[in-house]
Structure 1
Amino acid sequence: MLGRIAVITLFLGFLSLGVQSAQQDDQECGSFDEDQMLKQNNFAIPTEHQWVARIVYGKGFEGKIKNNGCLGVLVSKRTVLAPAHCFVQYNGVAEAFSVHLGVYNKSAPVGVRVCETDGYCTRPAQEIKLAEIAIHPEYDSRSLKNCLAVLTLQREAKIYPNVMPICMPPPNLMNETLVAQTFIVAGLRIFEDLRLKTWVNTLSRPFCQEKVKTLVTRGNTVCGYHARKEAYYLGAPLVGMQKKGRTTQNFYLVGILIDWGWDGERVMSSFLAIRNYMDFIQQNSHSLIVRS
């Protein structure tokens, strides 16, 4: 039954947060700063990887999935992508309630300004309820094949320096290999509070399956080791760097984390490659941003 789930619509009331800020360009996405990118021994500060969204369930942040937490990635003002198994439970019911945007510390209260001990004072995180969850029609809950959900928010996200969509994969990179590449994964972590980032070196599927036999890998996934020994919530975005001429232009979305495991002291993750699902995403999304 769960392998053929179409669209689940949640009829929810609207929530309005009084967050005041100037709107940025509607076409702004994937903010990139070389100085920030190179500080890989530090946390992903509030103005880095601002597309990370925390999934909220009816009874709190934890769902009935591996390691309790799930993330999504903001791809437009009203669209978030996330793994399907964060929503579809064994009874076939989607239990998600809303998303939180702009979360830097997962333990901090939502809707209030927070100043951390590291010196960062962040804008209030936004909570936006879900209007609709579109599960890929060929999703298989047992194998995690086509494990993708497109979430429609009830209202537009307010865009400011710590909340911004990620750019979608550029057309000229759609057919490039995803193996033997270096990308970045960023998100909230299982064992710590602050958002982090780390390099991911991608490898062949046979190699990943040999090293971590339980890891979910398929033809539409990309896998690899984390440079740092950190485990992230499912749904953490894997991003690449798009260049224009000799200048790096922006980050773009490569994949979303659907499974991970340990190889000794190293973390290996598997990501659903987003470029394989652009038609489904476009059919269920609002105003995706693609840089040429």
Structure 2
Amino acid sequence: MLGRITVIALLVGLFGFIVQSAQEEECGSFNEDQMLKQNGFAIPTEHQWVARIVYSKGFEGKIKDNGCLGVLISKRNVLAPAHCFVQYNGVAEAFSVHLGVHNKSAPVGVRVCETDGYCTRPAQEIKLAEIAIHPEYDSRSLKNTLAVLTLQRDAKINPNVMPICMPPLQLLNDTLVAQTFIVSGLRVFEDLRLKTWVNTLSRSHCQSRVKSLVTSSNTVCGYHARKEAYYLGAPLVGMQKKGSFTQNFYLVGILIDWGWDKERVMSSFLAIRNYMDFIQLNSNSLIVRH
């Protein structure tokens, strides 16, 4: 099996990019009834952009809690933390991604019916072609820990697999503090995909509560509403409104670190809006709702 992927660390601004409108392609599927059911588990047609990273020796890597996730941002691209890939020798190690995973213990490529009544489409496994590591990534401080993965083929979009919308331009400069977002993903002690609210706080408050938490001017942090910690790379999403209606989810950040504050989980997310040039440079197309 292929275990090492060429690392592409291109400088921003060399090439153009394509931003598609949401009318051309769907993204960030939002269902109000699903959102209101905050029992911890996300059904197969919720948060369909969560991707599981697969290494040459299996799902688990040598990182905190032994697993990494990414987020599908187009048919051919996935975002993930750079420290999920770059080893001490500077080589980025990964093999493929799994898309449409609802139960992490279920076999890939097989239709599965759960005891809760949900029958899911077969999860997709797609091998990686390239990993673009941010050129200013620092493995010691985890500053700029961002990677754009390019898949060898397009993901097949269906009700269980869909890209997340990118941040709308009008929200790029809004504050990320004192907001309520949703994080979704997989974790060590649960088989099914989870979701929970995240209430964001100031960086100084987060550092005062969990001193070991990785934070910077390019991160947003906050408490989880439920006592659940997720694999690194779990996407943090916000809700974009149009008039009096919520029309879609959009990507706010990806989980890069977490810790316990007594009985509460606090996480730190890399804020994606600060890296749009790098993401656009290394992606074949992105979807933004207006």
TM-score by length of 2: 0.92
Q: Which amino acid aligns with 1:167?
A: C
Q: Is contact 2:50-2:100 (8 Å) kept?
A: yes
Match of 1:216 in 2: 214
2:115 to 114, 117, 122: 117
Residues paired across the two proteins, number: 274
Match status 1:186 vs 2:184: yes
In structure 1, the residue matched to 2:196 is: 198
Query: Structure 1, residues 234-286: CA drift from partner, whole Å, max 9, x if none?
Result: 00000000000111010000000000000011000000000000000000001
- Displacement of 1:92: 1.1
The CA distance in 2 between the partners of 1:42 and 1:7, in whole Å, is 37
Q: C-alpha distance in 2, partners of 1:26/1:188?
A: 30
Distance 2:9 2:176 in 1: 32
Tell me the amino acid that sits aligned with residue 83 of structure 1: P
- Corresponding letter in the other structure for 1:204: S
1:174-205, Cα deviation, whole Å (9 max, x unpaired): 00000000000000012111001000000000
The equivalent residue for 1:161 is 159
Write the distance in 2 (CA, Å) between the matches of 1:8 and 1:67.
27
Question: How many Å apart are 1:160 and its aligned residue?
Answer: 0.3
Distance 1:135 1:146 in 2: 9
Query: Partners of 1:226 and 1:268 in 2: how far apart?
Result: 6
Q: Is the 8 A contact 1:8 1:132 kept in 2?
A: no
TM-superposed deviation, 1:89: 1.0
User: Structure 2 CA distance, aligned partners of 1:89 and 1:232?
Assistant: 21
**SS in structure 2 at match of 1:76:** coil
CA shift, 1:73, in A, is 0.1
Equivalent-residue separation in structure 1 for 2:69 and 2:251 (angstroms): 14
Q: Distance in 1 between matches of 2:24 and 2:227?
A: 36
* 1:167-182 equivalent positions in 2, closer than 5 A: 167-182=165-180
Instruction: Kindly report the root-mean-square deviation, in angstroms, between the aligned alpha carbons of the 2 structures.
Output: 1.5
In the alignment, structure 1 residue 7 sits paired with structure 2 residue 8: yes
Partner in structure 2 of residue 232 of structure 1: 230
Q: What does residue range 17-32 of structure 1 map to in structure 2 within 5 Å?
A: 27-32=25-30
SS in 1 for 2:287: coil
Which of 123, 126, 129 pairs up with 2:127? 129
Paired residue secondary structure (1:117): coil
Q: Could you say which residue in structure 1 is the equivalent of 2:31?
A: 33
- Give the unaligned 5+ runs of structure 1: 10-23
Q: Which residue of 2 aligns with 1:13?
A: none
TM-score normalised over the length of structure 1: 0.92
After superposition, residues 98-109 of structure 1 pair within 5 angstroms as 98-109=96-107
Alignment of 1:138 onto 2:136: yes
- Measured in 1, the distance between the counterparts of 2:25 and 2:270 equals 25
Q: In structure 2, what is the Cα distance between the partners aligned to 1:139 and 1:213?
A: 22
**1:64 maps to which residue?**
62
Q: How does 1:45-84 map to 2 (within 5 A)?
A: 45-84=43-82
Q: Is the 8 A contact 2:9 2:134 kept in 1?
A: no
Distance 1:192 1:79 in 2: 26
8 A Cα contact 1:6 1:136, kept in partner: no
What are the ranges of 5 or more consecutive residues in structure 2 without an aligned counterpart? 1-5, 11-21
Quick one: distance in 1 between partners of 2:9 and 2:53? 16
